[in-house]
Amino acid sequence: MTTIAPAAGRRLRLVVLGGTSGIAEATARLYAAEGAEILLVGRQEDRLAAIATDLKVRGAARAETAVADLAAPTDAAAALAGFAATLGGIDHILVAYGILGDQAKATRDPAAAERIITVNFNSAAAWCLAAANLLEAQGHGSLVVLGSVAGDRGRRQNFVYGAAKAGLAALVEGIAHRFAAKGPRAVLVKPGPTITPMTEGMVRKGFTWAKPEDVAAVVRRAADKGGPVVYAPWFWRYIMLIIRFLPAPIFNRLDI
């Protein structure tokens, strides 16, 4: 299903929840090149302002900012309504924030595990559900959510983070099903390891590591067309297919 395009003569209006993330910034640059109107939401006021200035240079018709703690939404529906008022409406919503957390700490400290789940699932779910209601009420638009290949199968290295992303995947797929034949679309984009501040300190080598720009291109396409689940880059669909179907005796011998 393809999203209904903005009316002739009207620019695309994008809200980015998590506007300072590496993938979000790269995606916003693609929208800016199209002359879109963009609202960036996040906690880092100075960083948001710097990105907004850059987006205007790159062609954005407007680039606004809003400071909010996305991980602790008090009323996501009211907040989205405010964002819509700022732009005069919303066409695309990108949910792009999250934390990786420390798996070793999360297995020992319930508070650390709760933080990973709260940020990556609980709060994201609140924003997604509010976005779904807004888009369904207006009868058009796209909700694109950044998930992770980590949600495809629990692995010892990151199963708390993976569990949160798995829950988010089920939610977004359910929203996509809810939207069937109604006009709006919902898409979960599952990146593999990506070179962003979130993965700073890891050994980031090899063909499986993507640049933010590579993932951004997938995100931008997903807002307009394609299925409800998209992998970024594409080959992760097949890597994770193999991992999901490995028999437990073999899987348990792998240090992944």
6, HSE (Cβ side, Cα atoms, 13 Å): 16
CA–chain centroid gap for 134, Å, is 17
DSSP 200-232: TTS---STT-B-HHHHHHHHHHHTTSS-SEEEE
User: What Rg, from alpha-carbon coordinates, does the chain have?
Assistant: 18
Would you state the structure tokens that stand for residue 34, as one six-digit string?
Answer: 């199209």
**Which residues are marked as active site?**
161
Would you state the structure tokens that stand for residue 157, as one six-digit string?
Answer: 């290295």
Strands (E), 112-210: 142-146, 185-191
Cα distance between residue 91 and residue 16, in whole Å: 11
Cα distance between residue 44 and residue 196, in whole Å: 16
Angstrom CA distances, 39 to 76, 87, 93, 128, 180, stand at 15, 7, 10, 17, 27
Cα distance between residue 223 and residue 144, in whole Å: 6
Q: How many CB atoms lie within 10 A of CB 94?
A: 31
Apex CA 14: angle with CA 90 and CA 59, to 5°?
135
DSSP H or E stretch at residue 186: strand 185-191
